[in-house]
């Protein structure tokens, strides 16, 4: 075989392999969520098992959340959810469901999307919106659910080199996560820093203990190598720091 043919065959195999891997995927991942107060060790409060399936640029993402240790400053949450959607530069949902128990109350959220709009929202039990800041229809344009937000964070490229802005709506609360800075550390990691902007669906002076719904700052950490692997997520709410680490 000539050198030209060998080179051509090599690039064909690389391209074909990359396409196959990108086009079809079945991947389970596990994460621990910790809470930390100043001067005390971090405490394991939840774990999350996720299953991502990708085929023909459509994705299906299942997640199972379980509380592990009881702490006074974080609400216990146990639940299962699923989101399906399409991949177009980033993960974009078409349908989201989440059934969970918090404070011994069973709750259910379902949202469906069409043309970058939220066309249906179901909350059981129903939410008393009169006690919350307004979430208008215009504020829901191009929003994604919290699980799709987390899924995007697992891929460094989806952060657009730590410059992306994510519009998130969980069925009740509407907030933006805006990446503001990138740091290369001495530990050879990449730290993407972001601010969370609360826009609607919150009570006045509400102390929100949800992992994603309220943060003073956010930091997402990746390895500084070719793959830019996800290492961890940190968020601070008052004196409480939330840490998410993948179980390898």
- The pLDDT, as a whole number, for residue 119 is 95
Q: What share of the chain is helix, strand, coil (3-state, %, to 5)?
A: 15, 55, 30
| 138-166: average pLDDT | 95
Residue closest to 158 by CA, chosen among 87, 218, 215, 223: 87
With residue 18 as reference, give the H or E element that holds it. Answer: helix 3-23
* Beta strands 90-102; 77-88: pairing state: antiparallel
The answer to whether residues 229 and 63 touch, using CB atoms and an 8 Å cutoff, is no
Distances (CA, A) of 224 to 190, 228, 230, 247: 6, 6, 10, 19
Please give the Cα distance from 60 to 144 (Å, whole number): 14
| 145-166: average pLDDT | 94
Peptide bond into 125 cis (omega under 30): yes
- The pLDDT, as a whole number, for residue 239 is 85
Phi, psi of 209 (to 5 degrees): -100, 5
Please give the Cα distance from 167 to 148 (Å, whole number): 11
Of the chain, the percentage scoring pLDDT greater than 70 comes to: 88
The answer to whether residues 107 and 125 touch, using CB atoms and an 8 Å cutoff, is yes
Checking if the pLDDT of 120 tops 90, the result is yes
Mean pLDDT for the chain?
Answer: 87
The answer to whether residues 62 and 81 touch, using CB atoms and an 8 Å cutoff, is yes
Bigger pLDDT: 2 or 137? 137
**pTM as predicted:** 0.86
Q: Out of 2-6, 63-67, 136-140, 244-248, which region has the weakest mean confidence (pLDDT)?
A: 2-6
| 5-18: average pLDDT | 38
- The pLDDT, as a whole number, for residue 203 is 85
Please give the Cα distance from 141 to 113 (Å, whole number): 10
- The pLDDT, as a whole number, for residue 23 is 65
Distances (CA, A) of 16 to 19, 20, 70, 157: 5, 6, 49, 21
The answer to whether residues 201 and 133 touch, using CB atoms and an 8 Å cutoff, is yes
- The pLDDT, as a whole number, for residue 20 is 45
- The pLDDT, as a whole number, for residue 232 is 95
Write the DSSP assignment of 143-208 as a string of letters.
-B-HHHHHHHHTSGGGGTTTT-EEEEE-SS-EEEEEEEEEEE-TTSEEEEEEEEEEEES--TT---
Checking if the pLDDT of 155 tops 50, the result is yes
Bigger pLDDT: 14 or 57? 57
Please give the Cα distance from 239 to 197 (Å, whole number): 18
């Amino acid at each position: 075989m000539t050198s030209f043919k060998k080179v051509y065959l090599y690039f064909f195999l690389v391209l074909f392999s990359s396409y196959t891997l990108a086009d079809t995927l079945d991947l389970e991942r596990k994460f621990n969520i910790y809470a930390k107060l100043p001067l005390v060790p971090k405490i394991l409060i939840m774990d999350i098992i996720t299953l991502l399936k990708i085929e023909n640029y459509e994705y299906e993402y299942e997640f199972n959340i379980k509380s592990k240790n009881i702490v006074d400053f974080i609400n216990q949450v146990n639940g299962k959810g699923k989101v399906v959607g399409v991949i177009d530069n980033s993960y974009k949902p078409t349908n989201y469901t989440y059934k969970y128990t918090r404070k011994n109350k069973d709750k259910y959220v379902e949202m469906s999307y069409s043309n970058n709009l939220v066309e249906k929202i179901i909350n059981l039990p129903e939410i008393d919106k009169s006690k919350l800041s307004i979430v208008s229809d215009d504020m829901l344009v191009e929003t994604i659910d919290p699980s799709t937000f987390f899924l995007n964070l697992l891929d460094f490229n989806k952060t657009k080199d730590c410059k992306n802005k994510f519009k998130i709506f969980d069925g009740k609360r509407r907030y933006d996560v805006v990446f503001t800075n990138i740091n290369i550390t001495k530990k050879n990691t990449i730290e993407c820093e972001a601010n969370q902007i609360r826009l609607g669906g919150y009570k006045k002076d509400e102390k929100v203990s949800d992992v994603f719904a309220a943060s003073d700052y956010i930091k997402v950490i990746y390895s500084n190598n070719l793959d830019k692997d996800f290492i961890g997520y940190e968020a601070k709410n008052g004196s409480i720091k939330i840490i998410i680490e993948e179980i390898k």
